[in-house]
Amino acid sequence: MSDPQTVEVETGAEPTASVIWLHGLGADGHDFEPIVPELRLPETLPVRFVFPHAPVRPVTLNGGMAMRAWYDIISLDRNGPVDKAGINESSQLLEGLIAREEQRGIDPGRIVLAGFSQGGAIAINTVLRSGGKLAGLMGLSTWLPLPDALKSGGLDTTPPVFMAHGQFDPMIPMQYGRAAADALAEAGFDVDWHDYPMAHAVCPQEIDDIRAWLVGVLS
């Protein structure tokens, strides 16, 4: 399986850490690129941000229209059918990007997986599949795509978790994100939960909180 195309931004020469950040349904790798300067990371912490483009595929929920998607969304019902093969295929792509960062000299303990909405679901699933030691997991306005992955046993629960959600999210109700955070905490992860008076979006306060958390886990 070939690596996805990526957009990359480095905050300084010779990065010592990487953040691999997955976009949401129908967006692309450029979606979160403008947030990098807004994070105002210290010069002493040069970070490579890697924003992959999801493959283009038909999405059942959108009438079969082809768009960038990490997997097919068949239903928004938490108990409805799920594209498990697509979820694990995209997690495999993300594992390939982690391996590529290692080849470029970044220790796994200096790699953060991040994602918004559907991208966050893949980031969470990848951490649950991965046996490697990662620096952290950031899930924004997202959910737990395969809850059974928490029951697989032998989980590495060391990566700290930052989760955030809009209180008025009409796309992914906040209780989905809260349920994911609670399930991760119950499994043994250290979860830092934030919610904001916004819809399915990212707000300035959230960016400030992400900055503080990233500096904390990477310093």
Query: 53, 194, 200, 209: which is the annotated catalytic residue?
Result: 200
Strand ranges inside 54-132, DSSP E = 56-59, 65-68, 111-116
CA 219 – CA 212 distance, rounded (Å):
10
* Region of 57 on the Ramachandran plot (φ > 0 left; ψ -120 to 50 alpha; else beta): beta
Catalytic residue flag (residue 90): no
Catalytic residue flag (residue 117): yes
| Residue in the structure block whose two tokens are 């886990």 | 217
What's the chain's Rg over C-alpha atoms? 16
Query: 117, 141, 165, 192: which is the annotated catalytic residue?
Result: 117
| Residue in the structure block whose two tokens are 């951490």 | 127
CA 130 – CA 204 distance, rounded (Å):
31
Query: 72, 169, 192, 195: which is the annotated catalytic residue?
Result: 169
- Answer yes or no: are the C-beta atoms of 91 and 129 closer than 8 Å: yes
Catalytic residue flag (residue 169): yes
Catalogue the active-site residues: 117, 169, 200
